[in-house]
Amino acid sequence: MAISKIQDAGVSLTSAALPAGSVLQVVPVSIVSTFSMSSGTTTYTHATNHSLSITTSVANSKILLFCNTPAQLASYSDIANTCFKSSIDSYSAALGELVHANYSEANDGWKQISSLQYLHQPNQVAGTTITYRVYARKRSGSGSFFLPDSWGSTFEYSFVAMEIA
């Protein structure tokens, strides 16, 4: 049935009445500042300014996360990781880990668009506010890791959380 017919019939549709898999809300955040770490940082560190909060509208919903910040590794054969972490478990579990590697032929840096994604199933009550953060670590290599390195340019990237019924 078309939306207009539902409204004409005087039916009120709530999020609880939506079928499983429906998008209940979308929370986008723009990332406009950089984060960097030097070599030798093998533990996960919060990528400053890469965070967002969402307050769930129904119990036991799923949260689909996307972050498209480009990653740059400054030196040949550098390897780094990014992941999401959530306030639900005090930022202890790595969610949706992504590997970044520089296997170019030179050390002048290499930028790749990251497509960090994860479907989180936190089993929460309705009205729970969850904060998600992007974390990064350098696994190997001598250069720095940037999220992103703007090279003096203006940029804007997205970090998005979608609540799914």
**3-state class (DSSP) for residue 70:** coil
pLDDT value at position 2?
A: 35
Please give the Cα distance from 71 to 114 (Å, whole number). Answer: 6
Helix-, strand-, coil-residue percentages of the chain, each rounded to 5: 5, 45, 45
At 4-36, the pLDDT tens digits run: 344 555 666 666 677 888 999 999 998 887 888
pLDDT value at position 27?
A: 97
Query: Hey, what amino acid is at 15?
Result: S
**What's the CATH code, domain 16-164?**
2.60.120.760
- Quick one: which of 158, 126, 115 has its CA closest to 27? 158
- In the chain, which stretches have pLDDT less than 70? 1-16, 39-41, 103-114, 149-154
pLDDT value at position 80?
A: 83
Residue ranges of the domains in the chain?
A: 16-164
